[in-house]
Chain A
Amino acid sequence: MRTSARGRRTSSAVVLYVIILVAFQVFLITVAVEAFQTDTESLAWATAAVSVALFAAAAAFLRYLRP
């Protein structure tokens, strides 16, 4: 199956977005660990909320990828 140049660019952009979102997730893990160590419950829950939102965004981006 031939893929158009635009389609390839879109796929690359989606993969790039997902990579950036995963990098954010790694950062959020470090924030969550710090919140855990310092017993900062509010920060821990805020981090968890952002992390879940990023995961949802990454999953949504999958829809734009060609099989």
Chain B
Amino acid sequence: MTSETEPVPVDPPWKRDFPLQAVSEEEVTRREFARYLVLGAGTMAVANVGLAAWTQLRSINAGEPRAITDLAAVNVGDTYLFHYPGDDDPAILVRLTDTDVVAFSQKCTHLGCVVYYKTEEERWHCPCHEGNFDARTGAVVSGPPTRPLGRIDLEVRDDGVIWALGRRT
């Protein structure tokens, strides 16, 4: 017969199945748990602000002026791949006429796939989701993109070299 003294604490089933004790087992209070969560939220807020600042800083025409290639090296209707403004930013140039050259970021404004030039249709095409952009202006012609391609300001200098103009203040 059991005596009616203090109730015996009952361990949860998992403790009976796994009777392990950590050396320094600590309890996390509700407030501490919430504080860790808020700390995580703060970290993510800082990351978001950082990403926004980074997005702003790497605007397509924010780089330094740079020579791209000789105009004579690109035939009419041909394209030339390069990187601008950074070494990780793919860009593409097309020579539309003898004197007319345009260049755009090669990243589709929908989800960032690489666009290429369709010579026969004279438009930029994104194969991922069938987005199409105007060859000359980069404006959206069809497909899911809602914004035009990032246009790189160019200049053909007297020596026949094509330059990306970059930041102009």
Contact = CB atoms under 8 A, between A and B. Distances in A.
B55 A41 contact: yes
Given A15-B34, A18-B37, A38-B109, A55 B52 contact: no
Interface residues of B, number: 33
B35 A51 contact: no
Nearest to B29: A67
Contact of B111 (A14, A37, A52, A54): A37
A32 B50 CA distance: 10
Nearest to A29: B44
**In the A-B complex, the 4 residue pairs with the closest CB atoms:** A51-B48, A44-B52, A55-B45, A48-B52
Contacts of A62: 31, 34-35, 38
Interface string B91-134: 00000000000000101111110000000000000000000000
Interface stretch (B6-14, B15-23, B56-64): B56-64
Interface of B: 29-31, 33-35, 37-38, 40-42, 44-45, 47-49, 51-52, 54-56, 58-60, 105, 107-112, 147, 150
A66 B54 CA distance: 39
Interface in A33-61: 33-41, 44-45, 47-48, 51-52, 54-55, 58-59, 61
Contacts of A59: 38, 41-42
15 contacts: A34-B111, A37-B107, A38-B147, A39-B109, A40-B109, A44-B51, A44-B52, A44-B55, A44-B56, A45-B56, A48-B45, A59-B38, A61-B34, A61-B38, A62-B31
